[in-house]
């Protein structure tokens, strides 16, 4: 017996013109409208999430970041106190 994954459903309200355009694009792509919509929505969602969760540094900032990692500054009085309180 093959176990199938249950699928969630999303309902959309769109104009007739929007539906025609989406159907045409799906047909030109050789896929069903559902596949077309899901694949394109997922691609866009992934791009948005990656952009939101990625930090891009300039060359100058990258070099500064690496130099601080290689030669970290000595902890100041406030940091020492904070770490001391954290360990309690």
pLDDT tens digits, one per residue of 54-85: 999 999 999 999 999 999 999 999 999 998 88
Residue 6 has a pLDDT of 74
Confidence of residue 5 (pLDDT cuts 50, 70, 90): confident
Q: Cα(41)–Cα(47) distance, rounded to whole angstroms?
A: 10
Question: What is the pTM for the complete model shown?
Answer: 0.63
**Residue 36 contacts residue 26 (beta carbons within 8 Å):** yes
Confidence at residue 40, expressed as pLDDT on a 0 to 100 scale: 98
User: Does the pLDDT value for residue 4 go beyond 80?
Assistant: no
* Two structure tokens written together for 12: 């959309």
Q: What is the pLDDT of residues 21-52, one digit of tens each?
A: 999 999 999 999 999 999 999 999 999 999 99
Domain boundaries, the chain: 16-86
């Amino acid at each position: 017996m093959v176990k199938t994954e249950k699928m969630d459903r999303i309902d959309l309200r769109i104009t007739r013109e929007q539906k025609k355009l989406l159907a045409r694009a799906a047909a030109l792509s050789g896929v069903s409208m559902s596949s077309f919509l899901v694949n394109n929505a997922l691609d866009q969602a992934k791009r948005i999430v990656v952009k939101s969760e990625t930090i891009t540094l300039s060359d100058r900032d990258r070099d500064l970041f690496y130099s601080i990692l290689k030669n970290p500054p000595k902890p100041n009085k406030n940091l020492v106190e904070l770490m001391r309180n954290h360990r309690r």
